Structure 1
């Protein structure tokens, strides 16, 4: 895929900044009409079902932006930091997942926020039972983080026996097993047809994992897939429907983004 550049996209004079000398910099400017448009387009790709979207708010981390999404019924998010989690909770989010395994002060902060907002479902990621053990006796749920080839975090998706052992270990310790987290961000460099084929092969494997867990008597409440590059591939994958679990996608830079993200999305 060619590297996109800003000059490939039309400039609109209405987005010019008047009296720029009076603006304290660095500053973030967000065009509210474009945010509304992007939220509407994302929901349209999901058939209008706001419950299928768990946006990663590492970019769209302003409370204003989160409230705008909540206004459209999007009340589940994925966060990168405990500060983002705190902002999301104060903005009215009802379900939040921390996108990285947590230790030390960060884990303690999550426990504090879970106690402060008991009506909100707060979950974390873990890739082994040892990481998950620290959440025993807390209301914090755990998603198993799978590695579909990104090779950054997660349990390699072909290790089915280890995946089953993880879920059973959570059950035995009374830790809430929320489901599976599957971030296929490594597919972003592929053109859309190749990206779709690679993503769908991974989703076939993901469904096989969910099926094995179900046959073992372990409920998979939710499966989270797809950042922005894989979002169109995940949204159209028919296997995620009518399988007894909630499927959510987690693109975040669809709210406001750079030219690279624009090039990765159809339309």
Structure 2
């Protein structure tokens, strides 16, 4: 169809598993393919925007989940202040498509990447992350070379133990940045996710509140030392709304909420009916009464959220909509093995729709996605897919 998808004018569509029946294009589309329900997507976008507004904080969603400028535009349409990227290449794609307020929430330490980020500042507001004196020194050197003042935020490790300044290093790094004439420290940020006291947790309310309180204390400490900390940026999809309720938090950066996934359902932040993305697969073999083989394996579903790992203890790699009791228990490269109750009615050639455990890294396996809105289905590129440099 040539009908345009209209941002902000979505109508109800049927359940994800029925879309192939409604849309002839999908009925003949080759599997496995990624399917996105835009009505659910907009509903999710609107709900998070309302939660941020009600708490008086800015919403700067992470594009890692969708990697599509058109979805970013939907988020801005609903009140997002800007977007968040992890890599310069993602930011470049977004600027090319008119997204002009981007936080690269990642330490930039390669001179070529710093120069690319600085090149974007002539067309957009670009903020970059920093988490060390060494990293700040590189940013200062390149910014001086380019004769610009670069807006930066200091990343804080609040327990996830990846990038981010540890407690003892926060003040020395901030003081070093303060003496860099080409760097402007505007705020602090963290990503902790559903973590509490160093462990994964289902108590996302306590986790979010603790994250917010920790970051506000650090911001106050830095302000007392004379640093102008305006932005206190926190929050993942499961914890963001709870962190947003902490006085002093100014911004949240959730990503997965835009499509939701099985992981978020288990965290209790959404229902299966809120999941806007699924993978369509075809049954290619029924070798045993209790086994179905589909044409989607590890090249169709992300494997970073493994089954039977705490705190979620998910069974299998996704929720099979046509057979909720079945388990997608094993993935090889091109085969998905589903264990199902003997006596099932599925046969070779049938199509199944599976909500992945983790939609973000699943989407990054596809060059294109089918976007569905009302009576319109279009196959569109995922412009920033694979942009990891």
**Structures share a fold, TM > 0.5?**
yes
Q: Distance in 2 between matches of 1:102 and 1:140?
A: 12
User: What is the match of residue 355 of structure 2?
Assistant: none
SS in 2 for 1:240: coil
- Contact 1:98–1:125 (CA under 8 A) maintained in structure 2: yes
- Contact 1:53–1:74 (CA under 8 A) maintained in structure 2: yes
For residue 187 of structure 1, the aligned residue among 195, 200, 205 is: 195
Q: Distance in 2 between matches of 1:261 and 1:240?
A: 26
Q: CA deviation at 1:13?
A: 4.9
Asked if 1:84 is matched to 2:94, the reply is: no
- Contact 1:79–1:99 (CA under 8 A) maintained in structure 2: yes
Q: CA deviation at 1:231?
A: 1.3
Asked if 1:123 is matched to 2:127, the reply is: yes
SS in 1 for 2:179: helix
Instruction: After TM superposition, list the pairs within 5 Å mapping 1:97-246 onto structure 2.
Output: 97-104=103-110, 107-136=111-140, 137=144, 138-156=148-166, 158-159=167-168, 162-174=169-181, 175-187=183-195, 189-191=200-202, 194-237=203-246, 239-240=247-248
Asked if 1:262 is matched to 2:269, the reply is: no
**Deviation by residue 1:71-116 (Cα, 9 ceiling, x = unmatched):** 2232411112222111222333332122322233xx5244234324
- Contact 1:146–1:182 (CA under 8 A) maintained in structure 2: yes
- Contact 1:43–1:50 (CA under 8 A) maintained in structure 2: no
- How many corresponding residue pairs? 245
Q: CA deviation at 1:180?
A: 0.6
Distance 1:185 1:226, change over 3 A: same
- Contact 1:50–1:74 (CA under 8 A) maintained in structure 2: no
- Contact 1:50–1:72 (CA under 8 A) maintained in structure 2: no
- Contact 1:56–1:251 (CA under 8 A) maintained in structure 2: yes
SS in 2 for 1:30: strand
User: What is the match of residue 7 of structure 1?
Assistant: none
1 or 2, which has the higher strand percentage? Answer: 2
| More off after superposition, 35-44 vs 254-263 | 254-263
User: Structure 1 stretches of 5 or more lacking a match?
Assistant: 1-9, 242-246
Asked if 1:38 is matched to 2:44, the reply is: yes
Q: CA deviation at 1:26?
A: 5.1
Q: CA deviation at 1:169?
A: 0.8
1 or 2, which has the higher helix percentage? Answer: 1
Q: Distance in 1 between matches of 2:71 and 2:56?
A: 15
User: What is the match of residue 6 of structure 1?
Assistant: none
Q: CA deviation at 1:20?
A: 3.8
Distance 1:12 1:26, change over 3 A: closer
| More off after superposition, 67-76 vs 182-191 | 182-191
Q: CA RMSD in A?
A: 2.6
Q: Distance in 2 between matches of 1:81 and 1:27?
A: 25
User: What is the match of residue 3 of structure 1?
Assistant: none
Q: CA deviation at 1:199?
A: 3.3
User: What is the match of residue 5 of structure 2?
Assistant: none
Q: CA deviation at 1:48?
A: 5.5
TM-score, normalising length: structure 2: 0.57
Distance 1:172 1:12, change over 3 A: closer
**Deviation by residue 1:218-254 (Cα, 9 ceiling, x = unmatched):** 10121110111211321222x226xxxxx11111111
User: Structure 2 stretches of 5 or more lacking a match?
Assistant: 1-13, 271-389
